[in-house]
Amino acid sequence: MTRRIVIIFAVLLCVAVGLGIYAWHLRRKVTAEEQRLNQQAQTEAPPANGPTSTITLYLASDANATLYRKQITIPLPAERSEQARAVLRALFGTYLQSGSPHPIGAGADIREVYLLNDGSAVVDTNQTFADTHPSGVLAEELTVASMVATINANDAHIGQVKIIVNGNERETLAGHADLRRFYPAANMVQLAKELQ
């Protein structure tokens, strides 16, 4: 009986060690995949399909706490929520360039934009965007204001915007800007004007 228990214990121990090695292997695989996706997102350009259109971006500058308007031409998809996503990805693309006056973390991306019937938009950003965003009241406010003003400048029907992270509500962007609320576009456009 004792010998059997020892054998079974040894077998169970071997299984546990084997599972541990397998879990470690999976973790490495997931990490490598995340890195690959991040690198892909970093270099990813706005979608190339669809006719090109001129869009307006509200770009932030940390040094002098301003937002300024800039028009660029990008290919735009036909569907409204895809358009909003393309516009915000173009905004992020500008911030991700080296030497950006308002840098955000490498790999930051827009996962989806959901448009509701009441004129609300819910912008789903990836986890990297929030986790790597520079922390500070001003830095976070400029990001939120530029996102809301930009999305409204290119689709006037969007009256308020909420930002979520990886499909979930988050208390603050990086410790400061409140992400639990909808931002009225009118408020942020007014703020953008004050900051120009």
Partner 1 sequence: MLSGRNRPLTYATAFLVVAGFSFLLLARYRAVVHAQLPAPKELAVFSPQATYTIPLLETNGRMYVGLVDLLEPLGSLESMPRGKKLKLRFNPAGGRPLELELQDGKDTGKVHGEKLKLPANFVLQNGRGYVPLSLVPDLLPRLGLQPIEYHAASQRLFVGNVVERYSAELKKGNPSRLLLGFSTPVNPTVATEPGKVRLTFRRDPVVAATDRVHYDDPLITGTAYSEHDGIAELEITGSAPLMANFADGGKTIIVTAAPGPPTTQQVQQIPVPIPQTAASLPSPVPRPPRPSFLVIIDPAHGGTDIGAAITPRLPEKDVVLALARRVQHELSARGIASSLLRNGDYAIGLDQRATSINAARPALYIALHAANTGKGVHVFTALLPTENTAPDSFLSWDSAQAAFADLSGSVAGSIAAELENRKLPNATLPAPLRPVNNVAAPAVAVEIAPPGQDTDEIASAPYQALIAQSIAAGVAAVRGKLPEVHP
Q: Could you tell me the two tokens for 9? A: 């214990």
Long-range contacts of 166-169 (CB under 8 A, 24+ apart): 166/111, 166/124, 166/125, 166/126, 166/127, 166/130, 167/111, 167/124
Identify residues 38-77 at the interface with partner 1 (CB under 8 A). 62-65
In sequence order, the β-bridge partners of residue 113 are 123
Amino acid at residue number 98: S
Identify residues 110-139 at the interface with partner 1 (CB under 8 A). 134-139
CA–CA separation, 20 and 153 (whole Å): 52
Tokens 């020892």 identify what position? 6
CB of 180 to partner 1, least distance (A): 8
CB of 91 to partner 1, least distance (A): 18
CB of 185 to partner 1, least distance (A): 12
CA–CA separation, 181 and 157 (whole Å): 19
Q: Is 159 in the site for partner 1 (CB under 8 A)?
A: no
Identify residues 1-20 at the interface with partner 1 (CB under 8 A). 1, 4-5, 8-9, 12
Identified binder of partner 1 from the candidate list 109, 124, 141, 155, rule CB under 8 A: 141
CB of 76 to partner 1, least distance (A): 29
Site residues (CB under 8 A) for partner 1? 1, 4-5, 8-9, 12, 62-65, 134-139, 141, 144, 171-172, 174-178, 181, 183-184, 187, 191, 194-195
